[in-house]
Amino acid sequence: MSPPAIDLPGPRAELLAAFEAYERALLAHDVAALDRFFLASPTTVRYGVADHQVGFEAIARWRRSSPPVDPRRTLEGTVATTFGRDFGVVSTLFRRPDEPGRIGRQTQVWVRTAEGWKIAAAHVSSIPEPTGGQAR
Angle at 136 between CA 97 and CA 8, to 5 degrees: 95
Q: For residues 136 and 129, what is the distance between their CA atoms, to the nearest angstrom?
A: 10
Taking the alpha carbons of 40, 41, 42, 47 in that order, is the dihedral positive or negative?
negative
Whether the CB-CB separation of 120 and 111 falls below 8 Å is answered with: yes
3-state secondary structure 122-134: EEEEEEECCCCCC
pTM: 0.92
pLDDT digit string, tens, across residues 9-67: 999 999 999 999 999 999 999 999 999 999 999 999 999 999 999 999 999 999 999 99
Whether the CB-CB separation of 120 and 109 falls below 8 Å is answered with: yes
The CATH code belonging to domain 9-128 is 3.10.450.50
